[in-house]
Amino acid sequence: MSRVKRGTTKLKRRRNVLAQTKGYRFGRSTKERTAKEAIFHAGRNAFRDRKTKKRLARNVWTIRINAAVRPMGISYSKFIDTLKKGNIALDRKVMADLAKDHPEVFTRFMGEVK
């Protein structure tokens, strides 16, 4: 059986790992073992924070809608309850966008809901 030299495969794997940690500080960008660990932690945090980003966006929608309906003398929860009872299927993202960018349209929409 002939001898197999693994220099190219190993080097390619190492370069790939170090390319992923480009810009990291200290040994995490130059040493393979610490770089692998840094990639693992970065991936875990990225996965978690993608969900956190969505959660924060939903919180912002709620806050914007609440801020828009308060001057009209109604709370956020009563507003959502009225929408559900009226069978109005407009999602919170669209309502928050209307409240922020087109307040006059949102005011007319509130009149329709009441």
In a domain, 7, yes or no: no
DSSP the chain: ------HHHHHHHHHHHHHHTTT--GGGGT-HHHHHHHHHHHHHHHHHHHHHHHHHHHHHHHHHHHHHHGGGT--HHHHHHHHHHTT----HHHHHHHHHH-HHHHHHHHHHH-
Structural domain for 52, as ranges: 25-113
Q: What is the pLDDT of residues 64-112, one digit of tens each?
A: 999 999 999 999 999 999 999 999 989 999 999 999 999 999 999 998 8
In a domain, 12, yes or no: no
* CATH number for the domain that contains residue 87: 1.10.1900.20
Please give the model's pTM, rounded to 2 decimal places: 0.73
In a domain, 9, yes or no: no
